[in-house]
Amino acid sequence: MSNQINHTYSDSGNYQKIPTPAASVLLIRDANKKIEVFMIKRSIKTNFGGAWVFPGGKIDHDDISNNYSNYSPLLDDGTASARLGIEKNGLSYWIACIRECFEESGILLANKKGKDLNNTVFKNDDLKIINHYKNRMQKGEHIFYEMIDKLNLELATSELAYISHWITPKIEKRRYSTRFFIARTTSQEAVHDGIESVESQWINPKDALARSKNGEFTMIMPTIKNLEMISEYTNTSVLLTDMNNKTKDTIPKVEPIFEIVNGELKLISY
């Protein structure tokens, strides 16, 4: 954790006891025999402001749906929940991940009913509707699923692979239980929202890690460790195959422990 990042530290046990459920996605693409991942820089006014992260955010009430089967025909809640090791509503993490990805990058991981993600093409009329809804969502309207219904879409939940689970340490006042996913991007243009994120770029994981070590690219531990996990891959097909083959036992729950030692933040364990 860097002093350049906007943290709110807890004191005297004044931390959030039950972390807020959240989801984040590593959007990847092939580029010159390497892979690249889409990253956004958080606005300094937001939590973890100043850090480079992946698109993501907390699970909203609307993400827990009675219409899971309508939005996600290829992945049911029972399978998703078992994958995460929870009793129910596991699918809400996949769904929230897709919603947050759209809100923060403009990439809509959804397909026309009866087609797959690769064969879905948004025509000009579709794009006008999508842009209209995105502008309204940036103003705070909770209308993502209204947009999905209007365009007769299904969420491409089966295209996301679950890869890691990180819990914000107790030294932070605001805490999250974040499930990380990975997915190949679409032909749409990825761009930051200009509100919660102020910059964005496609970057090779090794380059991001090298720049982080040089102090040029500020990241928090979960971001670094997820990049390290994928840094040796050179194409998205192999990467996604390996990530989809991960078992629940190979996706540990990680909660780092930090302490203030001589006025400095020190990692104790993770």
Residue 25 belongs to what H/E stretch? strand 20-31
Q: Which domain holds residue 76?
A: 20-269
Question: Rounded mean pLDDT of 147-157?
Answer: 95
* CATH value at residue 46: 3.90.79.10
Give the C-alpha separation, 23 to 25, whole Å.
7
For residues 93 and 161, the answer to whether their CB atoms sit within 8 Å is: no
Higher pLDDT, 6 or 241: 241
pLDDT in tens, 207-237: 999 999 998 999 999 999 999 999 999 999 9
4 lies in some domain: no
11 lies in some domain: no
Give the C-alpha separation, 237 to 86, whole Å.
28
5 lies in some domain: no
1 lies in some domain: no
pLDDT band at 130 (very low <50, low <70, confident <90, very high): very high
For residues 208 and 227, the answer to whether their CB atoms sit within 8 Å is: yes
243 lies in some domain: yes
85 lies in some domain: yes
Question: Rounded mean pLDDT of 73-80?
Answer: 95
Give the C-alpha separation, 146 to 178, whole Å.
25
9 lies in some domain: no
Percent of the chain at pLDDT exceeding 70: 89
How many helical (H) and strand (E) elements, i.e. helices and strands, does the chain have? 8, 12
pLDDT greater than 90 at residue 82: yes
pLDDT of residue 64: 92
Q: Please tell me the total count of domains within the chain.
A: 1
Burial letters 130-166, b for 16+ CB under 10 A, else e? beebbeebeeeeebbbebbeebebbbbbbbbbbbbbb
10 lies in some domain: no
